[in-house]
Structures are given as structure tokens and as C-alpha cells.
């Protein structure tokens, strides 16, 4: 049996420090997966466990709280791609209550804070907590002017164009609304629309979403708003940001005003005379929850009087005048027929529970993830067991526990395969990893297929109309084996046009869609390779650092030597580190991958990474290199400067912004000095570029 993490009160200071470092890293990673990439890897419940553990350790060791502690952050910083919006008022989060006692204590705290008499009543507005994502809408003179995501609470992303596609969001407000008015609320997708969307995604071979909330987030964060327009999103308004006019005396009045001014307000919200009425509503809605058309994950209680809300203010990142009372995850009992093993793109073996289908929280469930071998052992899950499963906002449900009394006689513990069920290769477990992996690499058909699917997926090559299903079929029929084969498909035009369900027109459309992707940005290309631990954000970091594919490829070869400068430079990239470096180097040194990379780089045009303008300290500047450069060739220095948006010139003039002078610099450096220009050593120059990277 594996033991869980040590109890917090047993941790030594050193262990606590290590645990906090590891938690900060894990939480940041899951935040990015959830908020920026809409592809969470763990359930909300497991994420909450990480946060709670972090908070408990910080409480016991306040001197060890890290500068980058997850407790000080809400969500994640905005992803690149949208312009940033500084919120006029911060977008807050809510503290949580998990029991009736937590709720009565919340009201008692409010009473103490305000110094209220026993006789004074404290009205509460109870509202369903919509499981979507929050957005802030700004109206200027009654017209919708700017819409933003929450981001990290202080700065979000400008998603105005996307929000305009939502019919619940009025383009203009009734004339009574204040001249400047910011409303906050939740963007969500109904469960039925989510299923229909996944159905369409499946048919197109595109990525399916884990739950309605991720589907809403993914749909809203489309750079192309015409895609958002095809996704059925809704909006409930529930709070105010900046406002130039009055918004009533109570929250209840405010909700009525929102309704009058043109917004949708959740119809199940209720004004309660005290906490017991609020708790009654909680129970009522909890029971009815599966029949609501959208997911909710709790009830939010808000102190009704706005003057009291003002006095209560906020503490760290949440208002003192509101609390979210979470629902317990929806659970059900069913029979586990079998445990099957799925092999993923990186060879990870994931055990899956094959269940007798059952409805949980409005969703029919027939499979549940068992995560890994340790999890099966810890819960002692066996074929034939009756298990409790739960769905906590996620469509991928989990096995919570085995119902021991219902275990049939003679059942045997699950033995995890020692060889890959797909290719028979040995299965290994690396030091410090829970995951077991197939060592077959690309000889494993499952890994090869998953890698190809990843290659064409939405955030990678994203070939229109050519998704996972097509990849599978084409691969089975020998039309594609490696990624570059996709770009040679037009050589087999007749064969494709004659396939069942195809024809000349659809084959031509496919070739056009493939051709459109023959030019690809460096960050997408790196992501498409499917290197372990290199998701979108690491791909972007690498693209930004190396600038062009050739520089990246050379650096990866050189970095095989751990003593090399290339290696030091790689692990020094903020956010990369030794573990990701190991996976990258292994990928770039494997023979098969090298062949694929060479083939691809001949077939494709991989565009250099274009630095966002304000991100680069040298964008728009003119640079002259003179003398010998020691860290890189002149050619590379020039390419890098151009990638960062600079103009490189061969001669010095008044218009030159920087002269980078190496040893042996002669007349150009002299002229620069005469003109009073900024002259930098190669080192100073590189420092300046890397400062731009981290800003
Ligand atoms: S009030 C200062 N009301 O829950 C007020 N939030 O866990 C902050 N949410 O960030 C929010 N339904 O995205 C409020 N009726 C509701 C809500 C709600 C869903 C979300 C919101 C917030 C998160 C906090």
C-alpha cells in the first residue's frame, strides 16, 4: 500500500518547505491547464485538496509562505493572444462554506464585525452558484463597450467581440442605467448544448470538452469570434464593478434593477430573512439540481444591505459579505465490470473502470478514470466490485470507493500489466513518478496514433475537417504513418477521393486545408510534436526563447551535453527547468524523432516566433552589430534581433538605437561613440533581450 502525504502536524520545517514548493508548482500548472488551456488534468475536488493542503501548511509555518504562494492568486494570469484589460475594480473570488455550521458562523462573523444587536435581522440573498466562468461587461452611455475575463482578478483578457455573440448580453441598456456601468456575471453553457457540441466535435474528430464549464471557457476564448458565435453560450448577471450611478440600497433591489436594465438574472435567486431560510433554499436546490438545465456547484449567500457590504469590505481576495456554500459531489453506486487500460500519447497507461451505465447528476456514466496503479491499490478496486462513483462538475467521473459488503466471493486484487496491452513492450515506472509507461515509443500503435491525433489537434496543426477519427482511419489504411505523410496526401488524391464517404470535392477541400497549414508558427509546431511536459505554455516559452526552428534544433542537439552552454541556457529559461529539459533532449535525440523532424522541416515553413510588440525591448529599434560576437554567429544574432521586431542595419547613423560591439570593433564603434549612441557589449545586449522575455 502507498501512504498518502504526511499529516501537516508531522512535517518538519524542511519537509514543509519542500511541500510548499512542490504545491506551488503543481497548483500553478493546474491553474494554467484550467484557466488558459481549458484542459484540466485533475478534478475540481483533487484541485481543492492541493489548495487546502497548501493553506494548512502555510498556516502552521507562516514564515515559509512563498512569494509565489498560490493562496495569493485567483485563477491564472491572462494567456497570450488577447489584449489585456486592467479591471477598474478587482474581480474577487468567494470563500467557501462546506457545512451548515460554516454558514451560521459566516453570519455570526458578519454580526460581530458590524457590532449588530441581537434583535437586528440580517437578510441574505441566496443565489445558485453557476458553474461557468466570470466575465465583466462595461457599458459606456448605455452601450456595451468592453468585456473581459477575470484573469488573475486584477487583469483579464479583452473578449468583447466574443461576448457580443451571446444573446443574453444586451448591446444597449435601458436609459435609466448609470452612464458608466460595469456588471459582472457568469458565462455558461447548458448541459444539453454541451453534449450536442461534444457530439459535433466528435464527428469532426476534434477535441471533446471535459464538462460544460470547460466548453464555455474554450468557446469564449476563441481568438476568432465567429467560432464563439456558433457556440450556444448564456450569461447570468450577479454583481457590480465600477458604476457612476446608484444601484439600489440592497442587493435584492440591485438584482431587480439588473433585470429592468436588460440583463438575465437567475430566477432561482431568493431573498431570505435569515440563515435558516437560506439553508432551506440550499437543500431545495440541491435536490432539484440534476433537473436544472445547467451545472451549479453551490449556493452563494450575500448580505442584502449594500451599506453593510461596504462596511464589511474584503479580506485577501474575497468579500467578507458573501460566501459560497458548496454542494457535495453527486454520487451513485454501480457495478464495475472490468478494469481496462488506455495507452496515451506519451505511453502513460491509464486504468479505466468499465461500469454498468448509471445516471449521476443528469449524466449517464459508463466509464470512470482510476488514474493510476497506486490509486487502484489504495482503494483496492477489483473487477466485480460495487463502487461509489462521483461526478463533481466533471463529466469524467471518479471512483470514490468500493462498497466492501457487496464484494463477491473469490475476487482477486487487480494486477497491473507489466507489458503494454497494445504492443507488448515492457512497462516501466520512473523514479518519483506514479505513472507507468509503455516503453514501446512509436512501435506502440496506440502511442503512434495518439501522437498523430495530437499533431492535428486544435492547438497544434488544427487542420480543418481533419480530426482524430480521420487520422485513425487513414492510418489504418496505410495512408499516413508519420506526421509529414499528412503533407504528402495529395500525392494519393485518387485513392482518397475514392474512399467511402469521400469524393473529389471533399478530397480537394482536405488538400486545401492541409496546404493552409503548411506554414505554421514555431510555438504551434513545438506544441504539435507532443513532447512530454511540453504543453502550449512551455512551447510558447521555447519559441520565444529560441525564435526560430533552426536555432531551436541546434540548441537541442548541443544541449545533449550537460556541460554545454546550450544546456545551461535551456534550463535557465524561466519555467522550463531540468525535468522538462530532460524530456526535450530525449525527444530531440531519439533517431526516429530526428527523422520525422528533418522530414517535417523540409516539408513545412516554420515561421519564426514573433514577439508581441510591447513584450520586446527592441521592437522597432535599429541595431548594428560590429566586431566579433562570442556567444553566437552574426547570422543568428541578426535573426534573433529581427524576430524580436528590431531592424538590423550594416552602418551606423543618427537613427541607430543600439550598437552591439564585440572585440575588434573598429570604425563603426568609433562613429557610434562620436554620435553619442548607446554602445552595448554582447553580454549587455543578451541581458537586455532576456529581461524582455521575463517582463
Ligand atoms: S459573486 C464579489 N455570485 O463563483 C462577488 N459569484 O468561486 C464575487 N459565481 O468568481 C462573485 N455564480 O465566477 C457570485 N451567483 C454568483 C455566482 C458566482 C457563480 C462564480 C464567480 C466567482 C466564483 C467564486
Domain finish residue from 297, 326, 355? 326
Residue 333's pLDDT is 94
Q: pLDDT tens-digit profile of 497-521?
A: 999 889 999 999 999 999 999 999 9
> In terms of domains, do 355 and 382 share one?
yes
Among 18-22, 239-243, 422-426, the range scoring the smallest mean pLDDT is 18-22
Q: Which residue has the higher pLDDT, 49 or 121?
A: 121
Residue 423 lies in a domain: yes
Q: pLDDT tens-digit profile of 247-258?
A: 999 999 999 999
Q: pLDDT tens-digit profile of 339-387?
A: 999 999 999 999 999 999 988 866 778 999 898 999 999 999 999 999 9
Could you say which of 52, 84, 129, 302 is catalytic? Answer: 129
Residue 547 lies in a domain: yes
For ligand 1, what atom is nearest to the CA of residue 134? 13
pLDDT band at 78 (very low <50, low <70, confident <90, very high): very low
- Cβ distance 524 to 461 under 8 Å? yes
- Cβ distance 389 to 368 under 8 Å? yes
Residue 524's pLDDT is 94
Q: pLDDT tens-digit profile of 111-161?
A: 999 999 989 999 999 999 999 999 999 999 999 999 999 988 999 999 999
Q: What is the CA radius of gyration of the chain?
A: 28
> In terms of domains, do 159 and 278 share one?
yes
Cβ-based neighbour number of residue 458 at 10 Å: 14
Mean pLDDT value across residues 451-478: 91
What the block records as the C-alpha cell of 654 is 543618427
Distance between CA atoms of residues 85 and 493, nearest Å = 48
Distance between CA atoms of residues 678 and 618, nearest Å = 13
The CATH number linked to 637 is 3.40.50.10190
Domain finish residue from 405, 440, 475? 440
Residue 63's pLDDT is 81
Residue 47 lies in a domain: no
Q: What percentage of the chain exceeds 90 in pLDDT?
A: 59
Q: Which residue has the higher pLDDT, 47 or 304?
A: 304
For 252, 358, 560, 633, the CA distances from 569, given in Å and listed in that order, are 57, 53, 12, 16
Q: Please check the confidence at residue 596 and state whether its pLDDT lies above 50.
A: yes
> In terms of domains, do 109 and 245 share one?
yes
Residue 36's pLDDT is 63
Q: Whose CA is nearest to atom 10 of ligand 1?
A: 93
Q: Strands (DSSP E) along 344-442, which ranges?
A: 349-360, 363-369, 386-391, 398-402, 427-429, 436-438
Q: Whose CA is nearest to atom 9 of ligand 1?
A: 129
For ligand 1, what atom is nearest to the CA of residue 150? 10
Tell me, in angstroms, the distance from the centre of ligand 1 to residue 318's CA: 10
Question: In whole numbers, what is the pLDDT of the chain averaged over residues?
Answer: 89
Mean pLDDT value across residues 203-217: 84
Tell me, in angstroms, the distance from the centre of ligand 1 to residue 136's CA: 12
Residue 347 lies in a domain: yes
Read off the DSSP letter of residue 11: -
Pocket test for ligand 1, best of 125, 134, 270, 292 (most atoms within 8 A of CB): 134
Mean pLDDT value across residues 206-226: 86
Distance between CA atoms of residues 11 and 482, nearest Å = 49
Q: Please check the confidence at residue 2 and state whether its pLDDT lies above 50.
A: no
The CATH number linked to 598 is 1.10.150.20
Q: Residue 77, CB half-sphere, CA atoms under 13 Å: how many? A: 6
| Strand pairing report for 622-626 and 658-661 | parallel
Residue 296 lies in a domain: yes
Distance between CA atoms of residues 140 and 173, nearest Å = 10
Mean pLDDT value across residues 431-439: 89
Q: Which residue has the higher pLDDT, 649 or 266?
A: 266
Domain finish residue from 397, 419, 440? 440
Q: Please check the confidence at residue 580 and state whether its pLDDT lies above 80.
A: yes
> In terms of domains, do 321 and 381 share one?
no
For ligand 1, what atom is nearest to the CA of residue 266? 15
Tell me, in angstroms, the distance from the centre of ligand 1 to residue 300's CA: 7
Residue 469 lies in a domain: no
Mean pLDDT value across residues 165-186: 95
Tell me, in angstroms, the distance from the centre of ligand 1 to residue 67's CA: 26
- Cβ distance 339 to 416 under 8 Å? no
Read off the DSSP letter of residue 459: T
> In terms of domains, do 211 and 303 share one?
yes
Burial class (CB in 10 A: 0-12, 13-18, 19+), 208: middle
The CATH number linked to 268 is 3.30.470.30
Where b means 16+ CB within 10 Å and e means fewer, 367-402 reads ebbbbbbbbbeebebbeebbbebbbbbbbebbbbeb
> In terms of domains, do 602 and 671 share one?
no
Pocket test for ligand 1, best of 31, 265, 300 (most atoms within 8 A of CB): 300
Pocket test for ligand 1, best of 47, 94, 263 (most atoms within 8 A of CB): 94
Structural domain boundaries, residue 661: 622-691
Q: Whose CA is nearest to atom 17 of ligand 1?
A: 129
What the block records as the C-alpha cell of 693 is 522575455
Residue 694's pLDDT is 39
Q: Please check the confidence at residue 75 and state whether its pLDDT lies above 60.
A: no
Tell me, in angstroms, the distance from the centre of ligand 1 to residue 137's CA: 15
Considering only CA atoms, which of 437, 425, 440, 336 is closest in space to residue 379?
336
> In terms of domains, do 239 and 306 share one?
yes
Residues 6+ apart with CB under 8 A from 694: 574
Residue 446 lies in a domain: no
> In terms of domains, do 597 and 628 share one?
no
> In terms of domains, do 684 and 577 share one?
no
Distance between CA atoms of residues 218 and 226, nearest Å = 13
Residues touching ligand 1 (Cβ under 6 Å) are 92-94, 127, 129-130, 134, 186, 238-239, 300, 319, 322, 324
Structural domains of the chain, count: 4
Residue 462 lies in a domain: no
Residue 1's pLDDT is 34
One-character DSSP codes across 602-652: HH-EEEPPPPPGGG-TTTT-EEEEES--SSS-HHHHHHHHHHTT-EEESS-
Residue 611's pLDDT is 65
> In terms of domains, do 138 and 283 share one?
yes
Mean pLDDT value across residues 179-192: 96
Residues 6+ apart with CB under 8 A from 258: 183, 237, 265
> In terms of domains, do 347 and 233 share one?
no
Catalytic (active site) residue 129: yes
pLDDT band at 575 (very low <50, low <70, confident <90, very high): confident
The CATH number linked to 379 is 2.40.50.140
> In terms of domains, do 320 and 363 share one?
no
Tell me, in angstroms, the distance from the centre of ligand 1 to residue 87's CA: 16
Amino acid at each position: 500500500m502507498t501512504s498518502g502525504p504526511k499529516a501537516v502536524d508531522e512535517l518538519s520545517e524542511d519537509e514543509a518547505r519542500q511541500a510548499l514548493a512542490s504545491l506551488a508548482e503543481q497548483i500553478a500548472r493546474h491553474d494554467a491547464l484550467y484557466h488558459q488551456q481549458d484542459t484540466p488534468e485533475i478534478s475540481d475536488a483533487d484541485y481543492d485538496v492541493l489548495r487546502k493542503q497548501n493553506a494548512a501548511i502555510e498556516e502552521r509555518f507562516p514564515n515559509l509562505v512563498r512569494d509565489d504562494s498560490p493562496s495569493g492568486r485567483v485563477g491564472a494570469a491572462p494567456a497570450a493572444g488577447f489584449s489585456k484589460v486592467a479591471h477598474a475594480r478587482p474581480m474577487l473570488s468567494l470563500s467557501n462554506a462546506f457545512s451548515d455550521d460554516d454558514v451560521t458562523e459566516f453570519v455570526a462573523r458578519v454580526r460581530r464585525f458590524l457590532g449588530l444587536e441581537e434583535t437586528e435581522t440580517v437578510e441574505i440573498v441566496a443565489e445558485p452558484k453557476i458553474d461557468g466562468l466570470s466575465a465583466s461587461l462595461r457599458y459606456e452611455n448605455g452601450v456595451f463597450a468592453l468585456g473581459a475575463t477575470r484573469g488573475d482578478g486584477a487583469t483579464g483578457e479583452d473578449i468583447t467581440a466574443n461576448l457580443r455573440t451571446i444573446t443574453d448580453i444586451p448591446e444597449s441598456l435601458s436609459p435609466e442605467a448609470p452612464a458608466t456601468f460595469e456588471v459582472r456575471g457568469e458565462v455558461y453553457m447548458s448541459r444539453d448544448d454541451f453534449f450536442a457540441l461534444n457530439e459535433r466535435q466528435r464527428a469532426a474528430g476534434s477535441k471533446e470538452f471535459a464538462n460544460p464549464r470547460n466548453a464555455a471557457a474554450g468557446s469564449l476564448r476563441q481568438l476568432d469570434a465567429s467560432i464563439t458565435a456558433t457556440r450556444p453560450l448564456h450569461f447570468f448577471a450577479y454583481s457590480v464593478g465600477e458604476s457612476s450611478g446608484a444601484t439600489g440600497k440592497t442587493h435584492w433591489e440591485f438584482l431587480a434593477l439588473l433585470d429592468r436594465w436588460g440583463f438575465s438574472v437567475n430566477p432561482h435567486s431568493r431573498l431570505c430573512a435569515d440563515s435558516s431560510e437560506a439553508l432551506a433554499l440550499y437543500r431545495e436546490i440541491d435536490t432539484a439540481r440534476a433537473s436544472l438545465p445547467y451545472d451549479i456547484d453551490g449556493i452563494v449567500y450575500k448580505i442584502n444591505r449594500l451599506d453593510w457590504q461596504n462596511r464589511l469590505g474584503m479580506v485577501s481576495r474575497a468579500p467578507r459579505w458573501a460566501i459560497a456554500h458548496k454542494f457535495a459531489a453527486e454520487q451513485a453506486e454501480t457495478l464495475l465490470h472490468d478494469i481496462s487500460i488506455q495507452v496515451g500519447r506519451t505511453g502513460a497507461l491509464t486504468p479505466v473502470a468499465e461500469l454498468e451505465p448509471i445516471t449521476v447528476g443528469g449524466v449517464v456514466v459508463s466509464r470512470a478514470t482510476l488514474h493510476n496503479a497506486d490509486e487502484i491499490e489504495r482503494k483496492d478496486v477489483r473487477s466485480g466490485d460495487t463502487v461509489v462513483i462521483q461526478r463533481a462538475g466533471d463529466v469524467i467521473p471518479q471512483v470514490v470507493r468500493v462498497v466492501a459488503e457487496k464484494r463477491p466471493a473469490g475476487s482477486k486484487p487487480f494486477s497491473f500489466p507489466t507489458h503494454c496491452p497494445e504492443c507488448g513492450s515492457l512497462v516501466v515506472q520512473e523514479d518519483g513518478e506514479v505513472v507507468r509507461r509503455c516503453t514501446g515509443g512509436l512501435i506502440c500503435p496506440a502511442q503512434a496514433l495518439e501522437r498523430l491525433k495530437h499533431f492535428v489537434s486544435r492547438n497544434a496543426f488544427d487542420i480543418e475537417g481533419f480530426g482524430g477519427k480521420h487520422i485513425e482511419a487513414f492510418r489504418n489504411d496505410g495512408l499516413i504513418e508519420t506526421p509529414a505523410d499528412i503533407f504528402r496526401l495529395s500525392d494519393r488524391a485518387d485513392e482518397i477521393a475514392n474512399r467511402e464517404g469521400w469524393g473529389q470535392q471533399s478530397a480537394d477541400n482536405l488538400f486545401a486545408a492541409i496546404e493552409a497549414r503548411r506554414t505554421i508558427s514555431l510555438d504551434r509546431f513545438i506544441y504539435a510534436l507532443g513532447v512530454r511536459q511540453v504543453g502550449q505554455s512551455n512551447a510558447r516559452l521555447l519559441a520565444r526563447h529560441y525564435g526560430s526552428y533552426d536555432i531551436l534544433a541546434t540548441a537541442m542537439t548541443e544541449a545533449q551535453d550537460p556541460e554545454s552552454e546550450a544546456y545551461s541556457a535551456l534550463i535557465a529559461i524561466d519555467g522550463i527547468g531540468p525535468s522538462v529539459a530532460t524530456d526535450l533532449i530525449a525527444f530531440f535525440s531519439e533517431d526516429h524523432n530526428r527523422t520525422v523532424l528533418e522530414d517535417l522541416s523540409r516539408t513545412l515553413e516554420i515561421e519564426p516566433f514573433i514577439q508581441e510588440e510591447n513584450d520586446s525591448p527592441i521592437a522597432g529599434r535599429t541595431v548594428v552589430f560590429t566586431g566579433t560576437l562570442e556567444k553566437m554567429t552574426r547570422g543568428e544574432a541578426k535573426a534573433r534581433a529581427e524576430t524580436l521586431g528590431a531592424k538590423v542595419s550594416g552602418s551606423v547613423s543618427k537613427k541607430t538605437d543600439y550598437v552591439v560591439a564585440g572585440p575588434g570593433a573598429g570604425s563603426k564603434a568609433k562613429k557610434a561613440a562620436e554620435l553619442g549612441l548607446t554602445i552595448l557589449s554582447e553580454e549587455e545586449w543578451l541581458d537586455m533581450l532576456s529581461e524582455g522575455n521575463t517582463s
